[in-house]
A and B are shown apart, each in its own frame.
Chain A
Amino acid sequence: MLQKKNLSLLLGIFFGVIGVMSYLSFPLIYPSSGSSNVNANVVVSSACFIGISPNSITFGNMAPTSAYDTNVLVTDTDNGGNVAANILLEGTTWASGSNTFAVGQTNYNGLSQSSYLGVSLTTSLVDTAIQIPAPTVLSPSTSNTVYFGLEVPGGTTPGTYTQTITFENSC
């Protein structure tokens, strides 16, 4: 009786050990083959850019009371952005040494005009309501145009006058 019991106990231990060893050695004999996946992620933020061309406007020689048609083209380009941008504008007073004339003598328009016709420029930043469409992967560069005109007021002292116009894109 005791011998049988011992035999069955030994067999039990033997198969138990074999089972445990098989379980432990399975990954070693059959290592997991193929590829492991590494998840990558990126958060793309919304952005807009600005690039204006040209970087100066020349109105040439103008007599007092004369006007330059609102047709001087400036292109504002968003190269690489992904949302629409609004064009904002502001300017400085025309100055030639100590002589000046008003910033509002310069006007702008979203469309080219055959006369002096547009919105007067101001010294504070103003939303022009001219929008640059959102660039896309297929069309990564979008732009819009602003046309400028100028009227020299009567009585303006002769001189070489300059002004600074600032373009700002907002999104």
Chain B
Amino acid sequence: MNFNRIHLISLFFIFSLLSFLFINLNYAQFGEVAGQLNFNASIGGSASLPFTLINGGSKPLSFKIILPTLNTIPNSTTPTFSISQMNGTIPSGGQLTLNVTVYMPSNKNKPGMHWSGILQAIELSNNTISGSGAILQQGVAKIVGVTALKPVGLPIIYIVLIILAIIIILGLLYYFIIKKVKKPKFQSKIKQSKRKRTLNSNKKSRSKTK
């Protein structure tokens, strides 16, 4: 079978089409759900928010997280971050929601203090370069804000205070009830003794008259 020019052109066309389809069907599209992460954390406590990553591509996507480095404020303790996953793989067309938690130290921090930083999710790639130059990598970033709120009292303290108050009230009630009950008894005993005395004196007077 002899290949003529038409055969070669059509083979080239088919090969180009297949190459195009292969390249375009195997792409990665890294994304994130929009919106800032603004944490309001009470001093001595913590706050959590979700950070959703999206793989809009046709192949699994591996990533790593870089936690925010917050600005420093004089005479304060910078809050610290933790995340449910520091790296992972998102399946094609999938989403992954990470839970970001910020801890607000109680040392030196005051309500109203505000810090900001950037949370990063970088796509892990095998990009290389032959010779000198710059390797490019991609990712998504999220502006993060942290505001200190006044500390929330522990509920245990409130419970203990309430119990103490109840005990005091009950104690007072008990004391007054006992007092009220005992007084009449005492008075009635005095009355009884008085009656007895009068009766005795009456008897004596009667016997004398007899």
User: Which residues of A are at the interface with B, using a C-beta cutoff of 8 A?
Assistant: 45-52, 54-61, 74, 79-81, 83, 88, 91, 96, 106, 124-125, 148, 160-171
Contact = CB atoms under 8 A, between A and B. Distances in A.
Contacts of B35: 46, 171
B34 A58 contact: no
Interface of B: 27-35, 52, 54, 56, 69, 118, 120, 122, 125, 127-129, 131-143
Closest 6 pairs (CB-CB, A-B): A46-B34, A49-B31, A58-B133, A168-B141, A171-B34, A170-B141
Given A56-B134, A125-B118, A125-B141, A49 B34 contact: no
B127 to A, nearest CB: 4
Contacts, number: 124
B134 A47 contact: no
Nearest to B129: A56
Contact of B33 (A46, A52, A60, A165): A46
B29 A56 contact: no
27 contacts: A46-B34, A47-B31, A47-B54, A48-B140, A50-B138, A50-B139, A51-B29, A52-B136, A55-B127, A55-B137, A56-B127, A56-B136, A57-B133, A58-B133, A59-B132, A59-B134, A79-B56, A80-B56, A88-B141, A160-B132, A162-B133, A163-B135, A165-B134, A166-B137, A167-B138, A169-B32, A170-B140
Contact of A54 (B27, B30, B136): B136
Contacts of B134: 56-57, 59, 91, 106, 148, 162-165
